[in-house]
């Protein structure tokens, strides 16, 4: 089986990751066919990453594009190894470019300033990881974007393994209705009507304590989500010898599900002590995994704040990894903790 990896994957880092996947697969009761499918999915991901980087850098993509189209037309690993699959023409490749153009910006982020940095937003399959210190506003960012996608007509799965289910549902209703908890308490009928009118029925809150990747996979398959939010990655139950391995396996697993179902994924993780009191966060601030978690996403968003920022409800968004548009930088945004909303700073 390892020989298949050597035959299909050129990057040493990817080889190591795929070898780990195979070893984990054989640790449980699985078939060779299923394992081959894992390798094919990994190969697709590798070529897709190369294509994305070249598109961002405005480089020639003919070779990667042809391979990308070829791999996504395969049904099995055997087709890849034997070459027994249909030949794709230049017209097929042009269709992929049309797909990229029509999909760009399909998923908008909040606050809106993020979409400017991403050249209009995200597309299917993009993986986002968000990091911040406790009590900075990670959950508010999760709620504001889950609700935003629901308002846009997307079916959203919101997986929680930390906060109580009803608390997240109340935050979502507050965000969608524009009413505080006190206002909703005083007029629950109005709150519910407004929230449902603005997309509440497109949002499914799913409690998992702690939850695992197979459960999330099953829910995506059952409900047909367009996007999922996972809060938090560190609580997911995955096989690993240490904390770093657990975080990296969870992050990569969520990204793999995004690729499998062609959906947007947003996972949340803690920033380490180095981020305490900092406005601008980067990859080095990821708790317990400074390289593994950043490598498992297309977009790494840090949310930071000094004490002065906290006092004025300002948060600073930093993009230290951005395979969507290539823009790296930071900007301020305003948090409304009563409505779980982020807005631009005017």
Domain harbouring 289, CATH code? 3.40.50.300
One domain, residues 173 and 307: yes
* Angle separating helix axes 32-56 and 12-26, nearest 10 degrees: 150
User: Confidence class of residue 91 from pLDDT cuts 50, 70 and 90?
Assistant: low
Note whether 90 and 180 are same-domain residues: no
Domain identity same for 166 and 314: yes
Q: Is there a domain that residue 282 lies in?
A: yes
Please state the separation of Cα 53 from the chain's center in Å: 17
Whole-angstrom CA distances from 208 to 165, 178, 340 are 9, 27, 22
Are 31 and 175 members of one domain?
A: no
Residue 118 resides in a domain: yes
Do 144 and 341 form a contact (C-beta atoms < 8 A)?
Answer: yes
Residues 130 and 99 in one domain: no
**Stronger pLDDT, 43 or 227, i.e. the higher one:** 227
pLDDT confidence tier of residue 46, bands split at 50, 70 and 90: confident
96 plus 133 within the same structural domain: no
Among 103, 128, 144, identify where a domain stops. Answer: 103
Last residue of a domain, one of 76, 103, 130: 103
Higher pLDDT, 171 or 60: 171
Q: Return the pLDDT at 30.
A: 46
Q: Give the span between the Cα atoms of 11 and 98, in whole angstroms.
A: 29
Let me know if residue 108 belongs to a domain: no
Last residue of a domain, one of 103, 129, 156: 103
High-pLDDT (> 70) share of the chain, %: 71
Q: Are residues 165 and 94 in the same domain?
A: no
Letter string b/e over residues 173-185, b meaning 16 or more CB atoms within 10 A of that residue's CB? bbbbbebeeeebe
Q: What residues make up the domain containing 87?
A: 2-103
Look at residue 263 and tell me whether its pLDDT is greater than 70.
yes
Total domains present in the chain: 2
- Segment 217-240 shows an average pLDDT of 94
- The model's confidence at residue 167, banded by pLDDT at 50, 70 and 90, is very high
Shared domain check, 325 and 295: yes
Residue 85's pLDDT is what? 47
pLDDT mean over 219-227: 97
Per-residue pLDDT, averaged over 198-214, amounts to 94
Instruction: Please indicate, yes or no, whether residues 197 and 337 belong to a single structural domain of this protein.
Output: yes
Mean per-residue pLDDT, 280-306 = 92
What does DSSP assign to residue 332? E
| Banded pLDDT at 97 (limits 50, 70, 90) | low
Q: Is residue 203 located within the same domain as residue 182?
A: yes
């Amino acid at each position: 089986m390892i020989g298949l990896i050597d035959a299909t994957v050129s990057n040493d880092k990817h080889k190591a990751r795929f070898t780990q996947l195979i070893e984990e697969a054989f640790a449980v009761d699985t078939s060779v066919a299923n394992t081959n499918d894992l390798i094919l999915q990994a190969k697709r991901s590798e070529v897709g990453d190369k294509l994305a980087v070249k598109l961002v850098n405005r480089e020639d993509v003919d070779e990667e594009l042809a391979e990308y189209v070829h791999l996504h037309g395969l049904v099995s690993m055997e087709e890849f190894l034997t070459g027994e699959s249909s030949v794709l023409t230049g017209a097929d490749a042009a269709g992929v470019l049309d797909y990229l153009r029509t999909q760009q910006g399909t998923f908008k982020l909040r606050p809106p300033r993020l979409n400017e940095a991403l050249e209009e937003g995200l597309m299917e399959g993009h993986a986002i990881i968000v990091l911040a210190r406790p009590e900075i506003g990670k959950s508010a960012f999760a709620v504001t974007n889950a609700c935003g996608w629901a308002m846009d007509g997307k079916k959203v799965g919101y997986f929680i393994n930390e906060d109580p289910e009803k608390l997240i549902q109340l935050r979502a209703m507050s965000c969608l209705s524009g009413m505080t908890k006190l206002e909703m308490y005083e007029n629950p009928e109005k709150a519910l009507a407004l929230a449902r009118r603005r997309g509440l029925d497109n949002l499914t809150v799913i409690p998992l304590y702690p939850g695992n990747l197979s459960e999330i996979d099953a829910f995506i398959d059952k409900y047909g989500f367009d996007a999922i939010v996972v809060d938090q990655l560190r609580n997911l139950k995955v096989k690993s010898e240490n904390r770093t391995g657990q975080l990296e396996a969870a992050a990569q697993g969520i990204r793999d599900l995004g690729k499998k179902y062609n959906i947007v994924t947003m996972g949340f993780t803690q920033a380490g002590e180095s981020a305490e009191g900092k406005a601008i966060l980067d990859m080095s601030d990821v708790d317990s995994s400074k390289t593994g978690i950043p490598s498992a996403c297309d977009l790494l968003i840090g949310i930071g704040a000094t004490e002065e920022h906290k006092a004025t409800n300002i948060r600073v968004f930093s993009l230290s990894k951005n395979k969507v548009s290539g823009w790296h930088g930071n900007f301020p945004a305003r948090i409304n903790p009563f409505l779980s909303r982020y807005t631009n700073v005017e």
